[in-house]
Chain A
Amino acid sequence: MKDKIALAAELGSGEELKRCIEILRDLGMSRFETFTPYEVEGLQELLGVPRSRLSWIVLAAALVGGGGAYFLEWWINVVSYPLDIGSRPLHSAPAFLPIMFEMAVLFGSIAALISALVLGGLPTLWHPMFEVEGFRSVTDDGFWLAVHAGDTALDRASATAALEAAGARRVVWLGAP
């Protein structure tokens, strides 16, 4: 169940963003979301996001691709239609390796792309944040901080004040707190 976003604030830099998170966290809030034009160093550690498990997906896909390719090569040469090709053995292992490798790479890469997008919640052409006035700066020089509506510690007055004090360019409240 996706939480609604209640508060969005635009900051001028990654450092400010990180500072604001610490400030709000001091106010007891914990359910943050950030939107940045590029990856801000240290942000993920600050938010305590665990390491992406995408690598495992890619490994699995690569194994399926490579293993499947080798199996197919073996099957068509040894089982499906065995033929004497220049006296080479039916199971010519070294010759089967290049395709196996390429298919491992291909499957792994496709898995990497798709998982990166899907795990990142894409494709979503519409997102509540896009309704926020000025959010378009998120790809320019705006570093956005959002707090989920479900955060019990979220308090409109104190949060607004704290963010404005920290130099937020814009503080926007979405719907009722």
Chain B
Amino acid sequence: MTKPIGLDALSRRQFFKLAGIGAAAAGIAGCSSRPARDILPYAERPPELTPGVATYYATSLVQDGHATGVIVETHEGRPTKIEGNPDHPASLGATRAIEQAAVLSLYDPQRTRAITDRGVPTSWASIERVLAEARADRGRGTQVLLEPTSSLLAGELLARIRATLPAARVTFWAPFAARASLAGHRSVFGRPLERRLALHDADVIVALDADLVGDHPFALAHARHFADRRRVVDGDSRMNRLYAIETSYSPTGILADHRFRVRPSEIGLVARELLAELAAAGKVAPELAAPRATGPRARWIAAIARDLVAAGGRSAIIAGERQPAAVHALVAGLNAALASTCVTYAPSALIEAGEASHDLGPLATALAHGEVTTLIIVGGNPSYTAPADQGLAIDRAERSLYLGAYANETAAACHYVVPGLHDLELWDVVRAADGTISPQQPMIEPLFDGHSTCELLATWLGDKPVAARERVEAAWPRLVPGTSFHQALARGAVASSATPAVPVEVAWSAVATHAATPSTAAYELELRAHPYLYDGRHANNPWLLELPDPITKLTWDNAAQVSPRTAARLGIKTGDIVALAVAGRSLEVPAIVVPGQADATFTLYCGFGRTGAEGVARGVGVSAFRLWTTALGFAAPVEVAVTDRQRTLAITQGHWELEDRDQLPSATLAELGHDPRVRSELARQRGPQPTLLGKFSQTGAQWAMSIDLTTCSGCSACVMACAAENNTPVVGREQVLNSREMHWLRLDRYVTGPDEDAPIAVEPMACQHCENAPCEYVCPVEATSHSDDGLNEMTYNRCVGTRFCSNNCPYKVRRFNWFDFKQHSGLQVLARNPDVTVRDRGVMEKCTYCVQRIRRAEIDAREAGRPFQGHDVRTACQQVCPTQAITFGSLNDATTAVTEHRTRPHDYAVLHDQGTVPRTHYLARIRNRNPELG
């Protein structure tokens, strides 16, 4: 095949001229049998590059200023896949779904492409003029709005700006930037400190509306540390215990051993009642022993408190970032009372710029009063995300300038638009949430005429232009003295550069300031960042839009989550449109009935209802920010009116119940240890079965997978990783409505118990690679067959599309290309993995156990003359999993984890009695129940 073109050697424009050819040449054009006839060698080949062999670089992706270290796979200079960086403390080798999809955002066709002045293309020189004017009079009348950042370079520049342009005002703002905990901790400790968690030491964890494995900037590390304490080998394994107290279901709620539903306004009360119990137990001053919990809550609050007291310092109470400062103060007190060693405090990694505020209010006021001459907005999308009571009147500024990578609402509102850079295009030095210094290096030349934040700030300061790499390299010895720039680049992080914890002293008088009475409103609304779109910044990413929500399995929409009981009382069902009104602002949104939601509450995700120029995001859902006011925060009393209209929601799994079937067994740790009925029931679902069929020879590597459901939170990073690795197409809302989504891996979500708190367990379901595969013998053309290493192979180019295989698949994990779903042209085809065939219309496809990785490893081993055992093969889903719930390896190797998992008492195969002999097994969901709570 052709040698693709070296990007490094070409200018950006040449890149675009040739990109199409490069894409075709890299084998991503699909099933057509007539390949391109041209072959274009490099004029000068970059020495580090072998065509067809992927290269990997470390860099960092940033959200609200916090870095997550990643490794980026590039093919001939084209980033195609993002993996976690095992050497980075905020990743530990994993990523979330958002990072997986970031590679598609790089190629977003609606990126800002040129510098414009009111829509008319202009040059960087005119931007320089604007900035020069903003420099005048020491920056008076100039306001800069940045996203929170930890960039060391930006920190330096901002310090210089403070010194030379003292009249200018800088604001850091993002809607979900965690500021309340800093305020709460300031009130208790006297300093705005961030909480650090050492969850591998915690025996008992109480999450108060805290999605510690989901939307926290350090969630990946939390998830890993948490899960490492839950690797159940047998009934006598030691396991931590998680209590989740929340309004709407989160991945943390899925992982929890006990989950309790409360209204948003009751969270603080629960914290206060816990403190009261601790006071009663003599852990804190007795004057804090009121108010004690009453009603049904009393029982479980007392039980949790006793569990916490028993665990002592090996316990952690965590409040969610959405909670107000007073709750954080309470929780800091709780942890102090328990003398918890698992919760420590350290200064934030984010840059503070002196008078710089993290409050949008003054800027909004200044704008409204016409006091802003030059408004510079760097990144973010405040036009869309600003609270309803702090809307930015950008048009009141004399001049406004937006630097951003996407043509969003804010870009539309500003006079000047400067294309920004994607994280994979820029040089910078940033910090992770724990302070770890993480370099950012570009994987690709900026696709468009992009400029970095630092370049903009430096130009404002009147600096001479300097190449991005030189800027970093020159500053490195100054910023991170005593470390090697090149080592840091190779590793993706500077080792041991985390900010150390500081000792704290609790001001007990500041702890219990939270009001002790919950809201009396009939209904409460909880606003949350979307698990994938976050604050809407990823709303133009079709991968994320089509990724089913972990709980509701909703795609391409947001909907007001409501509990079954409340829905029944209001007479609504899923899809009925309700009007939610907060403080006079009303929003019509479809309802979705979710077991496990607190009664009399609604939960709505932000990030939808975009109105920018982004083609995919437009018209998807409604913007919950319109109900968000700084006065009321993320939880507010809400008035509900039911309309008689409906919207059909694209939900990928409509059924919640197990329907009396045994596809997802679960047990408590105690039952696994002592209950012979449970053990024999699990044993029934594995082991040999009578069969008339013989076996083909099973020598060499025999691939198998084991998935531990105890540590699966349903976060869906694996689904996204699978899509990114295997070029699975996006099909759109209409097709999802007709159950035609193409994800090879789906996360089956079931309510596993009868009680109203609705314990949910998740079961990742992809091709099970059955030894006696029912799909194979019904294929009329040998398009699906078995390999000698135990893979159920799917040969796309042989498939004629009878779909018989899907009918006979008891797991229904096969996906069919009903239309020509693949993209033919456009920027986003560059995100494709050239090692995987892009499927044509009319062809069946399914999980391959990432056969391209297996075959690559096999070839590498044989070329090197090593025996191939496959220890180094990892599937995309396995690699990305934050909790390492997925294990993959050869059954013929006694040393692999997957072989060992087969011997555990809770190992089972789904639909074992069908005799399909699946190679994917599961470890049943084990809950470490508090005996007091049954």
A contacts B: CB pair < 8 Å? yes
Task: Give the chain A neighbours of B779 by CB distance below 8 A.
Answer: 85
Pick from B772, B775, B782, B787: contact of A87, CB under 8 Å: B772
In A34-88, which residues have CB < 8 Å from any B CB? 81, 83-88
- CB atoms of B785 and A83 under 8 A apart: yes
A81 to B770, CA, bound (A): 22
Q: Does A89 make an interface contact (CB < 8 A)?
A: yes
In B565-601, which residues have CB < 8 Å from any A CB? none
In A103-132, which residues have CB < 8 Å from any B CB? none
Task: Give the chain B neighbours of A87 by CB distance below 8 A.
Answer: 693-696, 771-773, 786, 917
Pick from B770, B782, B788, B917: contact of A85, CB under 8 Å: B782
Task: Give the chain B neighbours of A83 by CB distance below 8 A.
Answer: 782, 785-786
CB nearest to B788 among chain A residues? A84
- CB atoms of A86 and B788 under 8 A apart: no
Q: Does B777 make an interface contact (CB < 8 A)?
A: yes
A87 to B788, CA, bound (A): 11
A140 CB to nearest chain B CB (Å): 51
CB nearest to B792 among chain A residues? A86
- CB atoms of B693 and A84 under 8 A apart: no
A100 to B545, CA, bound (A): 52
CB nearest to A82 among chain B residues? B696
- CB atoms of B777 and A88 under 8 A apart: yes
Q: Does B708 make an interface contact (CB < 8 A)?
A: no
- CB atoms of B694 and A86 under 8 A apart: no
Q: Does B215 make an interface contact (CB < 8 A)?
A: no
B809 CB to nearest chain A CB (Å): 11
B782 CB to nearest chain A CB (Å): 6
A58 to B917, CA, bound (A): 46
Task: Give the chain B neighbours of A85 by CB distance below 8 A.
Answer: 776-777, 779, 782, 785-786
Q: How many residues of B contact A (CB 8 A)?
A: 19
- CB atoms of B786 and A84 under 8 A apart: yes
In B753-799, which residues have CB < 8 Å from any A CB? 770-777, 779, 782, 785-788
A87 to B692, CA, bound (A): 10
A89 to B694, CA, bound (A): 7
A69 CB to nearest chain B CB (Å): 16
Task: Give the chain A neighbours of B777 by CB distance below 8 A.
Answer: 85-86, 88, 95
CB nearest to A88 among chain B residues? B777
- CB atoms of B782 and A86 under 8 A apart: no
Task: Give the chain A neighbours of B696 by CB distance below 8 A.
Answer: 84, 87
User: Which of B695, B696, B775, B917 has the largest number of chain A CB atoms within 10 A?
Assistant: B696
A87 to B696, CA, bound (A): 6
Task: Give the chain B neighbours of A84 by CB distance below 8 A.
Answer: 696, 785-788
A80 CB to nearest chain B CB (Å): 11
A81 to B781, CA, bound (A): 12
Task: Give the chain B neighbours of A81 by CB distance below 8 A.
Answer: 782
A83 to B773, CA, bound (A): 13
- CB atoms of B788 and A88 under 8 A apart: no
CB nearest to B775 among chain A residues? A86
Task: Give the chain A neighbours of B786 by CB distance below 8 A.
Answer: 83-87
Task: Give the chain A neighbours of B787 by CB distance below 8 A.
Answer: 84
- CB atoms of B693 and A88 under 8 A apart: yes
A64 CB to nearest chain B CB (Å): 25
Q: B511-544 CB contact bits vs A (8 Å, 1 = yes)?
A: 0000000000000000000000000000000000
Task: Give the chain A neighbours of B788 by CB distance below 8 A.
Answer: 84
- CB atoms of A86 and B695 under 8 A apart: no
B787 CB to nearest chain A CB (Å): 8
CB nearest to B776 among chain A residues? A86
CB nearest to B785 among chain A residues? A83
A81 to B798, CA, bound (A): 15
A87 CB to nearest chain B CB (Å): 5
CB nearest to A85 among chain B residues? B776
A49 to B491, CA, bound (A): 99
A95 to B692, CA, bound (A): 14
CB nearest to B772 among chain A residues? A87
In B783-825, which residues have CB < 8 Å from any A CB? 785-788
Task: Give the chain B neighbours of A86 by CB distance below 8 A.
Answer: 770, 772-777, 786
A83 to B779, CA, bound (A): 13
A164 CB to nearest chain B CB (Å): 69
CB nearest to B779 among chain A residues? A85
B777 CB to nearest chain A CB (Å): 4
In A85-101, which residues have CB < 8 Å from any B CB? 85-89, 95
B88 CB to nearest chain A CB (Å): 42
Task: Give the chain A neighbours of B694 by CB distance below 8 A.
Answer: 87, 89
A84 to B699, CA, bound (A): 14
A73 CB to nearest chain B CB (Å): 13
A54 to B10, CA, bound (A): 79
Task: Give the chain A neighbours of B782 by CB distance below 8 A.
Answer: 81, 83, 85
B667 CB to nearest chain A CB (Å): 32
Q: A13-42 CB contact bits vs B (8 Å, 1 = yes)?
A: 000000000000000000000000000000
CB nearest to B774 among chain A residues? A86
A153 to B186, CA, bound (A): 136
A72 CB to nearest chain B CB (Å): 15
B682 CB to nearest chain A CB (Å): 25
A76 CB to nearest chain B CB (Å): 10
A84 to B695, CA, bound (A): 9
A89 to B788, CA, bound (A): 14
A78 CB to nearest chain B CB (Å): 13
CB nearest to B693 among chain A residues? A87
B166 CB to nearest chain A CB (Å): 76
CB nearest to A90 among chain B residues? B696
Task: Give the chain A neighbours of B775 by CB distance below 8 A.
Answer: 86
B548 CB to nearest chain A CB (Å): 30
Q: B75-88 CB contact bits vs A (8 Å, 1 = yes)?
A: 00000000000000
User: Which of A81, A83, A86 has the largest number of chain B CB atoms within 10 A?
Assistant: A86
Task: Give the chain A neighbours of B772 by CB distance below 8 A.
Answer: 86-87
A91 CB to nearest chain B CB (Å): 11
A156 to B474, CA, bound (A): 129
A95 to B693, CA, bound (A): 14
CB nearest to A84 among chain B residues? B786
A158 CB to nearest chain B CB (Å): 71
In B630-683, which residues have CB < 8 Å from any A CB? none
User: Which of A81, A83, A85, A95 has the largest number of chain B CB atoms within 10 A?
Assistant: A85
A86 to B691, CA, bound (A): 13
A95 CB to nearest chain B CB (Å): 8
Task: Give the chain A neighbours of B770 by CB distance below 8 A.
Answer: 86
B179 CB to nearest chain A CB (Å): 58
B429 CB to nearest chain A CB (Å): 54
A127 to B603, CA, bound (A): 92
CB nearest to A76 among chain B residues? B782
A86 to B786, CA, bound (A): 7
A165 to B808, CA, bound (A): 77
In B460-482, which residues have CB < 8 Å from any A CB? none
A89 to B786, CA, bound (A): 12
A161 to B770, CA, bound (A): 88
A98 CB to nearest chain B CB (Å): 13
Task: Give the chain A neighbours of B917 by CB distance below 8 A.
Answer: 87
A85 to B776, CA, bound (A): 5
Task: Give the chain A neighbours of B693 by CB distance below 8 A.
Answer: 87-89
B914 CB to nearest chain A CB (Å): 13
A116 CB to nearest chain B CB (Å): 34
Q: B817-853 CB contact bits vs A (8 Å, 1 = yes)?
A: 0000000000000000000000000000000000000
Q: B908-934 CB contact bits vs A (8 Å, 1 = yes)?
A: 000000000100000000000000000
A86 to B778, CA, bound (A): 9
CB nearest to B691 among chain A residues? A87
List the 4 closest A-B pairs by CB distance, nearest first.
A86-B776, A84-B786, A86-B777, A86-B773
Q: What are 13 A-B interface contacts by the 8 Å CB criterion?
A: A83-B785, A84-B785, A84-B787, A85-B776, A85-B786, A86-B786, A87-B694, A87-B696, A87-B772, A87-B786, A87-B917, A88-B693, A89-B693
- Excluding A83-B786, A89-B694, 14 further A-B contacts by CB distance (< 8 Å) are A83-B782, A84-B785, A84-B786, A84-B787, A85-B785, A85-B786, A86-B770, A86-B773, A87-B693, A87-B695, A87-B771, A87-B786, A88-B776, A89-B693
Chain A residues with a Cβ under 8 A of chain B = 81, 83-89, 95
